[in-house]
């Protein structure tokens, strides 16, 4: 496998252990900047708690057209409470200090406004592995190619069930680290069952780009679904279900209570390690 990058090595390590990698997403700034850093550290586990293999640090955005209601609610609250782009670098540093790699997931306008090379420089200085860019396609990413090469950062682009074969091939070639396969059309969010389109999308990717490592996001919310997804993908991506535990804690008047978050991470981590169906 070529172009593994830092985040790709997390996938490869899990694969060598005969399991799927677990990727956990949380937005910086919710329930507060400090609270979000604590939550991200909790994702990483400790002692005999394995935790996630890779953390996605989300950057709240004013027009989150691809995010479901759970992530939108948390992101809007974070913006209202004063989160800033620079806070993402503190979040990355907090995660990396635990020994777990971190990538940033962001709408491209935030990076462009900050300055592409400056953002790449500061992300690399914080120890970040790279970027997931859901609204940036490889053919529009010339500046990002230059900056990510200059600062040795991973590039994670997205494909979906509607992506053509030609686009899957070109996207895989553009990625460094792994590819993000979103197996549900539309916005993100928790779902009661895993997507029936995921196996077909993964089959196409394996046939067209067999070398690429693939993480799948499809609304996984528990360990059983994580086991099912790990049977077909190299990585299982969980976001809304994790954020939902933070929203529930704040609604209950306990915004700093990470008990439910840790319990869900334990369930998911056991799920990717369970015998595959």
Residues taking part in catalysis = 56, 67
Q: Which residues pair with 155 in a beta bridge?
A: 131, 176
Please check whether residue 103 is in contact with residue 56, taking contact to mean a CB–CB distance below 8 angstroms. yes
Please check whether residue 56 is in contact with residue 105, taking contact to mean a CB–CB distance below 8 angstroms. yes
Q: What is the CA radius of gyration of the chain?
A: 17
- Per DSSP bridges, beta strands 158-159 and 154-156 are unpaired
Going by C-alpha positions, the residue among 197, 156, 173 that lies closest to residue 25 is 156
Going by C-alpha positions, the residue among 11, 33, 41 that lies closest to residue 77 is 33
ω into residue 65 within 30 of 0, thus cis?
A: no
Give the integer Cα–Cα distance in Å for 9 and 3: 10
By three-state DSSP, how is residue 39 classified? Answer: helix
Give the integer Cα–Cα distance in Å for 159 and 147: 22
Q: What angle do CA 77, 63, 101 make, to 5 degrees?
A: 70
Give the integer Cα–Cα distance in Å for 277 and 275: 7
Read off φ and ψ for residue 216, nearest 5 degrees: -115, 130
Q: How far apart are the first and last CA of the chain?
A: 26
């Amino acid at each position: 496998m070529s172009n593994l990058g830092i985040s790709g090595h997390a996938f490869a390590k899990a694969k060598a252990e005969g399991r799927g990698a677990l990727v956990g997403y949380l937005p910086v700034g919710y329930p507060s900047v400090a609270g979000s850093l604590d939550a991200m550290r909790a994702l990483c586990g400790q002692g005999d708690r394995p935790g996630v293999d890779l953390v996605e640090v989300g950057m709240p955005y004013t027009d989150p057209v691809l995010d479901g209601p759970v992530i939108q609610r948390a992101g809007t609250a974070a913006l209202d409470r004063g989160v800033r782009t620079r806070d993402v670098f503190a979040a990355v540093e907090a995660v990396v200090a635990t020994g777990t790699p971190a990538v940033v997931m962001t709408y491209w306008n935030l990076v462009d406004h900050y300055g592409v090379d400056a953002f790449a420089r500061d992300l690399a200085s914080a120890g970040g592995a790279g970027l997931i860019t859901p609204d940036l396609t490889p053919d529009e990413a010339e500046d990002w190619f230059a900056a990510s090469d200059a600062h040795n950062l991973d590039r994670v682009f997205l494909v979906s069930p509607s992506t053509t074969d030609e686009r899957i091939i070109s996207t895989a070639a553009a990625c460094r680290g792994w590819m993000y396969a979103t197996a549900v059309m539309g916005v993100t969010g928790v779902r009661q069952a895993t997507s029936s389109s995921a196996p077909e999308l993964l089959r196409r990717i394996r046939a067209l780009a067999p070398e690429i490592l693939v993480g799948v996001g499809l609304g996984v919310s528990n360990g059983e679904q994580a086991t099912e997804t790990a049977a077909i993908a190299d990585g299982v991506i969980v976001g809304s279900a994790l954020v939902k535990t933070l929203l529930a804690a704040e609604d209950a008047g306990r915004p700093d209570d990470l008990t439910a978050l840790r319990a869900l991470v334990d369930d998911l981590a056991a799920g990717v390690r369970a015998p595959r169906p």
